[in-house]
Amino acid sequence: MKHTLLAQRLLALAVLGWLVLDFPLLGTVLGSGDAGAMLLGWPRSAWLLFALWALVIVVLALLMERGAYGEDGEHGEHGERGERGERD
């Protein structure tokens, strides 16, 4: 059950990331700004693109960490030790 919920969340994140970083939606957001707007020597559109991409990665990391531990704080299917018998 837990793995199914994690898989559904990862799929939803993949679809959301694809939609957010897809050209038509991104083009409407980036095309509406000032073409000459710069921030620290980079166009603001590049900063926005990087921020959205980083946000997707952070959410992915949070989902994977939350999926590694159960709701009660217990480790995943390997217990206290990883696959090779090492402590986490």
Distance from C-alpha of 75 to C-alpha of 23, rounded to nearest angstrom: 40
Confidence class for position 4, pLDDT limits 50, 70, 90: confident
**Chain segment 25-41, per-residue pLDDT in tens:** 777 776 665 666 777 87
Residue 76 lies in a domain: no
Domain region containing 61: 12-24+35-70
Residue 83 lies in a domain: no
- Asked whether residue 22 carries a pLDDT value surpassing 90, the answer given is no
Q: Domain total for the chain?
A: 1
Beta-bridge partner residues of 38: 43
DSSP track, the chain: -HHHHHHHHHHHHHHHHHHHHSHHHHHHHHHTS-TT-EETTEEHHHHHHHHHHHHHHHHHHHHHHHHHB-TTS-B-TTTTB-TTS-B-
